[in-house]
Amino acid sequence: MPVDFSGTWNFVRSENLEAYMLTLGIDFATRKIANMLKPQKFIKQEGDVFSIQTTSTFRNYSVKFKIGEEFDEDNKGLDNRKCRSVVTWDKDKIVCTQNGEKKNRGWSHWIEGDELYLELRCEGQTSTQVFKRA
Ligand code: VLZ
């Protein structure tokens, strides 16, 4: 059986988010707020079709995709840059490549025990977020 990311995930901790946001050109005030947030993830996985909702007291972000199928991503409320994105499996990880203005941009999700990991990448900066099953 493949991994099932479905569920509600609560924020536990993050590393290096400030540097990741800086590479995306996110302004000072937004970074200060974002660094305080404890977002929740709601993931629905039906076969190779995923929807991932990230919610917080400040902003929300949603993305829906099918593994292997390119899609247009607007990153609305994040840095608002449009990307042509695609998510693929790498063993038990889902790996997103966000093609656009920023080089080496993307993220990966994987599960360790009852924790969900998210690695966010952009131009040499990596931020890791950890969530626990609600
Ligand atoms: O999640 O890319 O689950 O799109 C900034 C957080 C980085 C601060 C968030 C603002 C990136 C929070 C979320 C507002 C929601 C992200 C992907 C993987 C799905």
Residue 65, pLDDT score:
98
Give yes or no for residue 16 having a pLDDT over 80: yes
Taking residues 34-60, report their average pLDDT: 98
- Top mutation candidate among 35, 57, 78 for ligand 1, by most atoms within 8 Å of CB: 78
Query: 39: CA distance to ligand 1 center in Å?
Result: 8
pLDDT bucket at 1, cuts 50 / 70 / 90? low
Q: Strand, coil or helix: what is 40?
A: strand
Q: Looking at residue 102, what DSSP letter applies? A: S
Residues ≥6 apart with Cβ < 8 Å to 133? 7, 8, 9, 10, 114, 115, 116
Q: What is the pLDDT of residues 62-85, one digit of tens each?
A: 999 999 999 999 999 999 999 999
Q: Burial code of 29-52, b = ≥16 C-beta within 10 A, e = fewer?
A: eebeebeebebbbebebeeeebeb
Query: 47: CA distance to ligand 1 center in Å?
Result: 23
What is the ipTM metric for this complex? 0.90
Give yes or no for residue 2 having a pLDDT over 90: no
Q: What are the φ/ψ torsions at residue 50 (nearest 5 degrees)? A: -120, 145
List the domains of the chain with CATH numbers: 7-133 (2.40.128.20)
Q: What is the pLDDT of residues 93-125, one digit of tens each?
A: 999 999 999 999 999 999 999 999 999 999 999
Give yes or no for residue 27 having a pLDDT over 80: yes
What type of residue sits at position 120?
L
